[in-house]
Structure 1
Amino acid sequence: MPIRHAIFHQLDKQPDGNPAILHARDSELPATDAVEALQADLNDSYNAKQGKVWGFFHGESGAYPFSGWLKQYLDEKQDFTGFTRVSVEHLQKLIEEINLSTGGHVLFSHYQQGLTEYLMIAVLQQVQTVGLDDDLNVVVSRYLDTNNFSCAARINLSEWRNNPNSKQYISIVKGKTGRKSSDYFRDFIGCQEGVDGPGETRTLLKAFTEYVEKEDLPEESAREKTHALLDYATTQTKLGQPLHLQELSEVLDEDRPQAFYDHIRNRDYGLSPEIPADKRVLNQFRRFTGRAEGLSISFEAHLLGSNVTYDAGTGSLTIKNLPTQLKDQLKRRVTESGELQ
């Protein structure tokens, strides 16, 4: 993961009502293994965060100047240090306007992963810990907490520059400290929501369920495809990458690599070719399966509470919206037995 440029600035904001103090670094961080390790740890934590906002830049304006400064930097009209300095000064201004009580160490990192370039901005906290030195003396040390952060964004620079119609080249972590914290950082980036990650993920899973029903797949085959979908989606989210529908279709059926993709297009689900999968929604998509004395039941976990209701008291399931083929078989059987005329 080559890091092209990286720098830290510090915003010292105490909860005493005094203005935030900016401690700006005047040069980039040197390229070291420690910086590489920091970025790798931060990427892993960022990818694991749930409930991100995916979007694109507002038009450049006085309210949203960040994209203009970023463009100047990429066009080599401003160096990296100067770009980050004017940006962090704007961040300082926004913190003062909303009277946010927490500052932190602001990392700007321009790095490359594969053929794709990214800019990550994260506000990290420095934490004290107690340990032992080589002589078994108790010492206090400090480290940057790359696991717990509420303000961070990643911009896919390659996507932004090469695909002007994209609406999902920015992702931002949703803060857990309240909407105020999340909104100020989103305003700093100048990001507007472009893709509903949880909604798109739910639509994709709905399309998959209907595809399995339409194909009338055997239970074992349906289970294998479900596992394949979840394995692919989990791998992509760990890498911080969206799901590619064409690629997913090939994963689901090597013999008919277009089958699932064609199903999505023919039914017009309105899905984007690339979906920023939502980890929480994926975790809910599992299959409940049971077999005993000639009875075999299997359904996706997300149907529990909607199409499938469980009564723990009586140990019974109530199923709505039965598959058409099953309803036809039941009707024929009832008709043949003379119970339905």
Structure 2
Amino acid sequence: MPIRHSIIHQIDKKPDGTPAVLHVSRTELAKSQVTEKLLNDFNEAYNAKQGKGWGFFHAESGAHPFSGWLRAFIEGFDFIEFSHTAVEHLTKLMEESNLSVGGHVLFAHYQQGMTDYLIVALLQHSESITVNADLSVTPSKHLDFGNINLAARINISEWRNNPKSRQYISYIKGSKSRKATDYFRDFIGCLEGVDGPGETRTLLKAFSDFVTAEDMHEDNAREKTQALVSYSMAQAKIGEPITLNELSELIDEDRPAAFYDFIRNKDYGLSAEIPADKRTLNQFRRFTGRAEGMSISFEQHLLGSKIEFDQEAGTLMLRGLPTQLTDQLKRASP
């Protein structure tokens, strides 16, 4: 993961309402193993965060100037000056939003594979204790990657090469403070473009329909479900989207385009690449079974809502039956 540029500034803002004080660095972080570990640890923590949003830049304007500054940097403007301009704007928005907590602001431009990324993140410290060489103890501070709430990652290559994309920015939505998330998203100038959980749910619905349409045997359906979940979770872990072509090849090696063609022919409205939502994937598990001319298959999240299982009686109660099934039952009734 070559790091091209990285720098850290500090916004000192106390909860007592006093104005924020910005401390800017005049030099980039040295390219070293420590810097690489910093970025690797951040990316690992960022990828593990659930509840991300995906979007694209507002049109460049006085209210949303960040994309213009980033474009100027990519075209040759000095990275340090770019980060100074951006962090000054962030400090101003933090003051206007009356948010009490500052932190260290990381800007990192790096390459992964053939793709360029920019990270912007507000990092906090945690207190800990360290044991010294003389076996005494002293308090120490360390960056708390487990508590990242304001951060965004911009796929620069996607932004530059595919201007119609609506998902080249990912950001942490956050569950504690919508106001903080909104001000940070305004700082980046990001419009929400792709609903990650919704897209993932649509993909899982398409897969369930595919399994039904193919009339798969129970073992085969279970194997393909595992392939889908394993691949999707692996993509989420490294912060990469689910690519439908790749997924289709994994699901059926003998017919690598079968699932992809099924999605396209049924017009589910999915993009060729979609962000994987880990929470939605964690809820997905398929129960299947066949016996004496009866085939039952449903997803785990339906238990307790549309499907109730009576363990003692060994029965299922179904609600919200498919219209096609109810029509057939009505026609068959005397």
* Smaller-chain TM-score bracket: over 0.9
Instruction: Determine if the alignment matches structure 1 residue 216 to structure 2 residue 215.
Output: yes
Q: CA deviation at 1:287?
A: 2.4
Instruction: Determine if the alignment matches structure 1 residue 23 to structure 2 residue 23.
Output: yes
Instruction: Determine if the alignment matches structure 1 residue 183 to structure 2 residue 221.
Output: no
Q: CA deviation at 1:306?
A: 4.2
SS at match of 2:121: strand
Q: CA deviation at 1:147?
A: 1.7
Q: CA deviation at 1:87?
A: 0.1
Q: CA deviation at 1:277?
A: 1.3
Matched with 1:54 is 54
SS at match of 2:72: helix
Alignment of 1:30-41 (within 5 A): 30-41=30-41
The 8 Å contact of residues 120 and 154 in structure 1, kept in 2 or not, is answered as: yes
The 8 Å contact of residues 211 and 260 in structure 1, kept in 2 or not, is answered as: yes
The 8 Å contact of residues 56 and 190 in structure 2, kept in 1 or not, is answered as: yes
Aligned partner of 2:150: which letter? Answer: C
Alignment of 1:309-328 (within 5 A): 309-311=308-310, 316-320=315-319, 321=321
Aligned mates of 1:313, 1:189 — CA distance in 2:
55
Q: CA deviation at 1:305?
A: 3.7
Aligned mates of 2:26, 2:254 — CA distance in 1:
57
Matched with 1:166 is 165
Instruction: Determine if the alignment matches structure 1 residue 206 to structure 2 residue 208.
Output: no
Alignment of 1:247-258 (within 5 A): 247-258=246-257
Q: CA deviation at 1:299?
A: 2.6
SS at match of 1:64: coil
SS at match of 2:183: helix
Any unmatched runs of 5+ in structure 2? none
Matched with 1:244 is 243
Aligned mates of 1:293, 1:264 — CA distance in 2:
31
Percent identity over the alignment is 61
Aligned mates of 1:207, 1:288 — CA distance in 2:
16
Aligned partner of 2:177: which letter? Answer: G
The 8 Å contact of residues 151 and 182 in structure 1, kept in 2 or not, is answered as: yes
Aligned mates of 1:189, 1:25 — CA distance in 2:
20
Deviations along 1:36-87, whole A, 9 cap, x unmatched?
00100110110111111100000000100000000000000x2000000000
SS at match of 1:44: helix
Residues 327, 120 of structure 1: CA spacing in aligned structure 2 closer, same or farther, 3 A cutoff? same
Aligned partner of 2:66: which letter? Answer: F
**TM-score, length basis structure 2:** 0.93
Aligned partner of 1:261: which letter? Answer: Y
Aligned mates of 2:267, 2:191 — CA distance in 1:
25
Residues 15, 282 of structure 1: CA spacing in aligned structure 2 closer, same or farther, 3 A cutoff? same
The 8 Å contact of residues 42 and 147 in structure 1, kept in 2 or not, is answered as: no
The 8 Å contact of residues 213 and 323 in structure 1, kept in 2 or not, is answered as: no
SS at match of 2:184: helix
Matched with 1:80 is 79
Aligned mates of 1:143, 1:160 — CA distance in 2:
33
Aligned partner of 1:98: which letter? Answer: S
Runs of 4+ with deviation above 6 angstroms: 290-296, 322-328
Count, aligned residues: 333
Q: CA deviation at 1:104?
A: 0.2
Aligned mates of 2:325, 2:228 — CA distance in 1:
25
Aligned mates of 2:183, 2:286 — CA distance in 1:
40
Aligned partner of 2:10: which letter? Answer: Q
Q: CA deviation at 1:288?
A: 3.6
SS at match of 1:147: helix
Matched with 2:45 is 45
Deviations along 1:241-276, whole A, 9 cap, x unmatched?
000111110010000011000100110011111100
Matched with 1:157 is 156
Question: RMSD over aligned Cα, in angstroms?
Answer: 2.4
Alignment of 1:78-117 (within 5 A): 78-117=77-116
Q: CA deviation at 1:210?
A: 0.3
Deviations along 1:144-170, whole A, 9 cap, x unmatched?
111211100000000000101100000
The 8 Å contact of residues 130 and 140 in structure 1, kept in 2 or not, is answered as: yes
Aligned partner of 1:71: which letter? Answer: R
Aligned mates of 2:291, 2:170 — CA distance in 1:
46
